[in-house]
Amino acid sequence: MTALRVMLATTGAAMLGWGCWLLVTETREGTVPQTTAWLAGAVVVHDGLVAPLLLLLGAALGHFGARLRRRHGYGPEAARQDDVRRVPGALRGGLIVAGCLTLVALPALLRQDQPRYPSALPLDYTANWLTLLGLTTLVTVALLVLPGVARRLRTRRTRAGRARD
Amino acid sequence: MGGMKSLSPPRFRGRLHDPRTATALGRCLGAAVLTCFVTGLISHVLQEPPGVLADRLPSRPVNGYRINQGVHVATGIAAIPLLLAKLWTVYPRLFTWPAVRGVRHALERLSVGVLVAAALLQLFLGLLNIVQWYPWPFSFRPVHWALAWVLAGSLLLHLAVQAPRIAAHWRRRSTGTRQLPDEERDEPDRRSLLLGVGAAVGAVTVVTVGQTFAPLRPLNLLGPRHPEHGSQGLPVNRSAAAARVSPAAVRDWRLRVAGPLPYTLTWAELAALPQHDSELPIACVEGWSAMARWRGVRMRDLLDRAGAPSGATVRIVSLQRKGGYAVSEMGASYARDPLTLLALRLNGEILNADHGYPARVIAPNRPGVLQTKWVTRIEVLT
């Protein structure tokens, strides 16, 4: 284990050093400070903006989930609790998917009017992105609603079965 | 507000900022980063072959570069949800207090800083490059290349430092995982988070990978290219106008072949030579690709006619006056390949201006930028 760790660390440090060497020697003048500034900028934008926003969103979802549990979670039917517990998770999944699709679509959405070459960005990205958001919403709602519907169908069937007996 | 209080680090009461979640996400992200690194390395060697390899690069498999670049770009896109989720999980560690506990700790934190910065910037540069958007002041290729080594290196360093922790949380039943506080409550929540991130990885992949992977072409909703959009059934990267190749420049076109027995051919003379068909893809470094039928004269026939030795490297000169690779070199392994053509026709039609009329190079397992259009001169190098 230790030997492997030392080997990994040495290889890693050497590759890191080689990358810095390439950045310094194989690029045109001014690239090093520019790249450093963009590297720092990437961290500042993520750690100062993106991550706090995601955390806030997560906290809001958490509060929403707790309220749902307080209101519905302790009803007579134990099965209902499961449905309620699933709500924040499904919503979170939907938001992650929608957010990532938006992120990937963003460059095309912003550059659609000025492609550099004739067959670059040939699709209607706004319409496609909205379609995908709609689909994500549909799937999320289905994940929220379907377990409850299935449970209700099951209880109805067992009740009908009992009535026949 | 007391000054001291505002200085104290924030506390995180949210769930799943734990080593098990970091390990589960991190191993996928690590695999993605290393895949991007290896495919990037292959692409770099094929595009800028180091001297010793220049004449020995394999021209097979025909689809090699196409698959390599498709995997590179698709994996980069798939890494976006993984990176954001991983950084979300470990975010509280940014506020570790005391911030620095000694030289070793400072170095560790510095290397993590380099890792995070390089990962964020690499994915950002790549994502914008595939739509050919360059808002930064530096040149994309050398910086993406250098940062690839920085990123892969700092990742290996990170793995070495965190190895015991990763091992302790590798599985749901691993010792470290079982010792986590509230694990019973967190486990289903974690599974649901991982499902959400997995769904995002699947979603962004499925709606972009159709730009190169034909079976998923109907689902290509967000890919920057679509193989069916382009003249003569093929996308165009650089048009004749963008490359400053005017109709006047090709009017009195001649192909000049320089070698031991130099000669010059008009388009009609070239078209009268034995023609061959090749089914070859155009595969761009930006991750899109499309198959096409090409017809033209075999490169090796042209070279034999010039009396070129069989191991000769070839220099290809284009009429293009703007953009890189107006002059490029083709190694012997490509030049002698029976599939390599100086193509005159594409999908049954004479090449149009944007596809490189009067003549263009098409060779197997090569990046699109080296499939030179508007060829005017072929030089045999010794």
DSSP-derived secondary structure letter, B276: E
Q: What is the mean pLDDT of residues B249-265?
A: 96
Q: What percent of chain A has pLDDT over 70?
A: 88
User: Looking at beta carbons, which residues of chain A come within 8 Å of B161?
Assistant: 9
The ranges assigned to domains in chain A are: 34-164
Please, what CATH class does the domain formed by B231-381 belong to? alpha beta
**With contacts defined as CB-CB under 8 Å, which chain B residues touch A4?**
163
Q: How many CB atoms lie within 10 A of CB B229?
A: 17
Contacts of B242 in chain A (CB under 8 A): 116-117
pLDDT digits (tens, 9 = 90+) for B273-294: 999 999 999 999 999 999 999 9
Three-point CA angle B280, B283, B285, nearest 5°: 160
Peptide bond into B61 cis (omega under 30): yes
At how many degrees (to 10) do helices B140-168 and A2-25 cross?
160
Tokens found for residue A103: 């992120």
* ipTM higher than threshold 0.90: yes
Do the chains contact at B156 and A8, CB–CB below 8 Å? yes
Q: What is the DSSP letter of B170?
A: S
pLDDT for residue B40 is more than 90: yes
- Report the candidate in A6, A21, A8, A145 with the shortest Cα–Cα distance to residue A83: A145
**Residues on chain B touching A13 (C-beta within 8 angstroms):** 153, 157
For B326, list phi and psi in degrees, rounded to 5.
-65, -30
The backbone torsions φ and ψ at residue B311, rounded to the nearest 5 degrees and listed phi first, read -95, 15
pLDDT at B153: 98
Q: Looking at residue A80, what is its pLDDT?
A: 59
Whether residue B51 has pLDDT greater than 60:
yes
- What are the domain boundaries of chain B? 8-219, 231-381
Span A87-110, average pLDDT: 95
Which one of B111, B127, B133 makes the best mutation probe of the A interface by having the most chain A beta carbons within 10 Å?
Answer: B133
Condensed to tens digits (0 to 9), the pLDDT of residues B19-28 reads 999 999 999 9
Hey, are the CB atoms on B225 and A119 less than 8 Å from each other?
Answer: yes
Helix (H) or strand (E) holding A51: helix A51-72
- What tens digit of pLDDT does each residue of B171-201 get? 999 999 999 998 988 999 999 999 999 999 9
Question: Which residue on chain A is closest to B208 by alpha carbon?
Answer: A104
Distance from A112 to chain B by nearest Cα, in Å? Answer: 9
**Residue A116: band (very low, low, confident or very high) from pLDDT cuts 50, 70, 90:** low
Model pLDDT, residue A74: 52
- Using DSSP bridges, classify how beta strands B255-258 and B289-298 pair: parallel, antiparallel or unpaired: unpaired
Better-scored residue on pLDDT, B67 or B3: B67
User: pLDDT at residue A66 above 90?
Assistant: no
